[in-house]
Each structure stands twice: as C-alpha cells, then as structure tokens.
C-alpha cells in the first residue's frame, strides 16, 4: 500500500470532519494499493469482502461517493453504463483515457492539451472552469486485427 496516499487521504477526511470508520479504511486501503484503478463499486466490494466480510455494497457506494466529494477519488465513465473510481491524480497526475469499445481495454494518457482551450473559454465566457474529463473511444489494435481476420 502507498503510505503517502493513505496518510494524505486520512488528513483530508479529518480536516473535513469525517472519521475513518473500518469500512472507509477498507475502501481507502483498496484504492491506495497498487493496481486498484478504474474499479466499479461492485468490483471494489468484491475485492474488500475477502478481508472485510461485513462490509455491504451500499456502504461501499457511500464511501466511494464521500471520497469523490472530498477529492480523494475521481469518478470516471467508460461508456459501459458503470461509474468507475480511481485515485484523484491531482494536478500532476491529471490524465485521460482511451477505451476500446470491443474489449474494454483502457490506456491512460497524460498529455492534456485541453487546459489551453479552457483558458480561452474562461476569458471568452466569464466562466471559471473547475475541471474536465476526456474519454476517447474506439478499437484497440488487437480488436481491430481480430476484426480484420474475421473478414
């Protein structure tokens, strides 16, 4: 587990007046572990239930929403009908996703050119843009090759 991640999240919760319950701890530990990315609530619940059998799915949903509202997690959508969650990357960890419409493979990329467009839009419209989300969908190389072989 990434200790910095856990400590930073714990500090954020405490600063906002939230306690770290055992259920919240379990969800937080999951997302601070390596490899816990793009999880649905059900996937998070399944991963936690092995260690914490008394944590219910509704509780996991509540924790995910709280952590999203506090800024610990980001809620993302991959055009598959599910909300997914990952650690908030902050300014340095800002990234977007390429999502394969066939197999669901996800590639993250961080070269974000949208910030310059945001600045222009802010000047033009008077809005203060607080963030953005970009998802590009298509087919990954493997799915395209498989499709071409089937033709």
**Average pLDDT for consecutive 10-residue bins of the chain (151 residues)?**
79 93 93 82 93 92 95 84 82 70 79 82 90 79 85 68
Residues 45 and 117 in one domain: no
State how far the Cα of 91 lies from the Cα of 27, in Å rounded to an integer.
Answer: 23
Residues 68 and 27 in one domain: yes
Residues 80 and 126 in one domain: no
Residues 27 and 65 in one domain: yes
Question: Which two tokens mark 18?
Answer: 């939230």
- Structural domain including 20 reads 1-88
Residues 74 and 100 in one domain: no
Domain endpoint, select from 88, 109, 128: 88
Residues 21 and 74 in one domain: yes
pLDDT at residue number 104: 78
List 42's β-bridge partners, or say none: none
State how far the Cα of 115 lies from the Cα of 96, in Å rounded to an integer.
Answer: 13
pTM: 0.72
CA angle at residue 32 from 29 to 38, to 5 degrees?
110
Number of domains in the chain: 2
State how far the Cα of 62 lies from the Cα of 120, in Å rounded to an integer.
Answer: 37
Domain endpoint, select from 44, 61, 88: 88
114 exposed, middle or buried (CB, 10 Å; 0-12, 13-18, 19+)?
middle
List 110's β-bridge partners, or say none: none
pLDDT at residue number 3: 62
């Amino acid at each position: 587990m990434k200790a910095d991640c856990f400590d930073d999240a714990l500090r954020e919760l405490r600063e906002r007046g939230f306690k770290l319950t055992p259920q919240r701890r379990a969800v937080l530990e999951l997302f601070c572990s390596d490899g816990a990315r793009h999880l649905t609530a059900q996937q998070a619940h399944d991963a936690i239930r092995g260690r914490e059998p008394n944590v219910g799915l509704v509780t996991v949903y509540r924790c995910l929403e709280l952590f999203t509202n506090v800024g610990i997690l980001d809620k993302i959508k991959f055009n598959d009908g599910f909300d997914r969650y990952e650690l908030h990357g902050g300014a340095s960890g800002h990234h977007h996703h390429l999502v394969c419409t066939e197999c669901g493979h996800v590639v993250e990329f961080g070269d974000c050119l949208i910030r310059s467009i945001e600045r222009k839009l802010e000047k033009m419209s008077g809005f203060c843009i607080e963030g953005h989300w970009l998802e590009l969908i298509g087919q990954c190389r493997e799915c395209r090759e498989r499709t071409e072989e089937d033709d």
